């Protein structure tokens, strides 16, 4: 829950973006705890709003329906939440969302192909990577999205060779300087 109690007028202390497996949820949650603020994840907001898991929305309603619900969830959270806000990995695909991120502190958690595939490999909860060749899909996704993550980011952290705890420590230092 937000410190401001929700409603309009709030503003996240940091918005976290990046590819699947970058640590948006893990690091986002730990960063919020380190800063003593609340945590919100738009994937969880979409699940709550639609009443189905992310995988069910993709399978039953299609990616376009998920993206529309995600765009709404991001817009709401940006005005309601004053803690750390993690976005879904593909949220930056929306030009409207990218515009809405302008002026916010946006952390891009980057992860390379090999490490991203390794971190997401054991999960069946990511419908986009559930196909026959998750590595090719991950590469395609990184190629398409890297410029979009960088377009919105005010801070970029490479997570390949750092534990989630180290990433949080680097981010708390960077955000204190900003």
Ligand X SMILES: O=C(O)C1=C[C@@H](O)[C@@H](O)[C@H](O)C1
Cβ closest to ligand X, residue 9 vs residue 131: 131
Structure-block tokens of residue 63: 């990616």
**Among 9-17, 122-130, 153-161, 164-172, which window interacts with ligand X (CB under 6 A)?**
122-130
Binding track over 18-37 against Mg ion, x by CB under 5 A? ------xx------------
Structure-block tokens of residue 88: 């879904």
Show Cβ contacts of residue 81 under 8 Å, excluding neighbours closer than 6 positions.
2, 6, 10, 12, 38, 40
Q: Does 89 interact with ligand X (rule: CB under 6 A)? A: yes
CB count, 10 Å around CB of 62?
11
Helices of type H across 7-112: 24-35, 42-50, 54-56, 63-80, 95-100
23: partner contacted, choices ligand X, Mg ion, ligand ATP, none (Cβ within 5-8 A by kind): ligand ATP
127: partner contacted, choices Mg ion, ligand X, ligand ATP, none (Cβ within 5-8 A by kind): ligand X
**DSSP per-residue string spanning 120-136:** HTT-S--GGG-SS-HHH
Cβ closest to ligand ATP, residue 154 vs residue 162: 162
Residues contributing to the site for ligand X (CB under 6 A):
20, 43, 54, 88-90, 126-128
Residues contributing to the site for Mg ion (CB under 5 A):
24-25
């Amino acid at each position: 829950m937000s410190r401001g109690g929700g409603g309009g007028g709030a503003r996240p202390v940091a918005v976290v973006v990046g590819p699947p497996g970058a640590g948006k949820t893990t690091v986002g949650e730990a960063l919020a705890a380190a800063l003593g603020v609340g945590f919100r994840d738009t994937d969880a907001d979409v699940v709550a709003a639609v009443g189905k898991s992310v995988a069910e929305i993709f399978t039953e309603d299609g990616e376009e329906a998920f993206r529309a619900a995600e765009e709404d969830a991001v817009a709401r959270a940006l005005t309601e939440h004053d803690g750390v806000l993690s976005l879904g990995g593909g949220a930056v695909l929306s030009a409207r969302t990218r515009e809405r991120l302008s002026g916010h502190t946006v952390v891009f958690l980057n992860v390379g192909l090999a490490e991203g595939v390794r971190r997401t490999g054991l999960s069946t909860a990511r419908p986009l990577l559930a196909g026959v060749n998750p590595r090719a899909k991950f590469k395609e996704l990184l190629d398409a999205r890297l410029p979009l993550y960088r377009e919105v980011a005010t801070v970029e952290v490479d997570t390949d060779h750092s534990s989630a705890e180290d990433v949080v420590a680097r981010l708390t230092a960077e955000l204190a300087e900003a």
